[in-house]
Amino acid sequence: MKILATGGLGFIGSNFCRHIIAAHPRYEIINIDKIGTGANPASLKDLENEKRYKFIKGDICDSKLMNRIITQVDAVVNMAAETHVDRSIADPPSFIQSNTVGTFTILEALRKHNNEAKLVQVSTDEVYGEIPEGSFEEEDAPKPSNPYAASKAAADIFALAYYKTYGLNVTVTRCTNNYGPYQFPEKLIPKTIVRALKNLKVPVYGTGKNIRDWIYVQDHCKAIDLVLAKGQPGEIYNISSGNEMPNIEIVKEILELMGKNEDLITFVENRPGHDIRYSLDSSKIRSGLGWKPRFSFEKALELTVNWYLRNESWWKPLATRKILAPTPWKLGRTQ
């Protein structure tokens, strides 16, 4: 199988490319990435000499490029996206362009030039919005709370509409918060690790009681792989691990692993539209495709902290003053 991985130099994308090459000796990967915010060529330096891996610098919104590449592959895994909620509040248009228009461009290329290929649209739990109690199931309607989530929800709806109208082989995955190696240091876990290492204050929004479900990125990549192989056209698959924790507890666990004092924590003004809790019911992918997470939260968090401590050369060029600012959404809004 030849797979087009979009956004393969990003966090989930780079881990997915590495997973496919290791897990499937006969698979080939074409990775297209515009190398925007969140992408880092160093993330796949270990695949540079791999014959089954090819990189193309390009934008998924480029219809001519996508029309040409789409004819060469058996499947597309769309992971190309602007993903940071804070930046989406500061700059919504770039999120609509990458996340919604980009997905639409892929769908049009498939419709016109390769309607037999399979598309896995990699989405997020944020499209559902917050849920104070219980867990969202795949049939629940999207109710996004911020521009990032809205742009992803729109992309999902387009993908499912193209299945319904044109019969494209489309599946959608919606996953909870990822963590692990190669995550851009603007996100909570790597940002906490980097700032704590520098003995800088670690910002926590509001009271820190916002709850997220955390999944190790390698478990997510395995789930995408299963959906690619066994997922049914037109279906949505929630992916969750059951590690629901308040943000403040995540930060405290990281500081404990690093031997740092909790007085580094500083509470900052909450961001607009900050959902209190996300939660997904992933019974469908567990019972239907046989997936379950392999890594415990405690072990995977320790692996993640140790990776960042050992790989300063990877994250240091990315840890700019703007990226590590305590309230990036506010700074972005005033620019």
Residues labelled catalytic: 125-126, 148
Angle value at C-alpha 93, between 90 and 95, nearest 5 degrees: 85
Give the three-state DSSP class for 140: coil
- Tell me the C-alpha distance between 200 and 225, whole Å: 38
Burial of 140 (0-12, 13-18, 19+ CB in 10 A): middle
- Tell me the C-alpha distance between 302 and 285, whole Å: 27
DSSP 8-state assignment for residue 98: I
- Tell me the C-alpha distance between 82 and 264, whole Å: 29
**HSE-CB of 188 using CA atoms within 13 angstroms:** 24
CB 62 within 8 A of CB 34: no
- Tell me the C-alpha distance between 257 and 45, whole Å: 28
CB under 8 A, 24+ apart: contacts of 313-317? 314/40, 314/42, 314/43, 314/182, 315/185, 315/190, 315/194
In the chain the first and final C-alpha atoms are separated, in Å, by 45
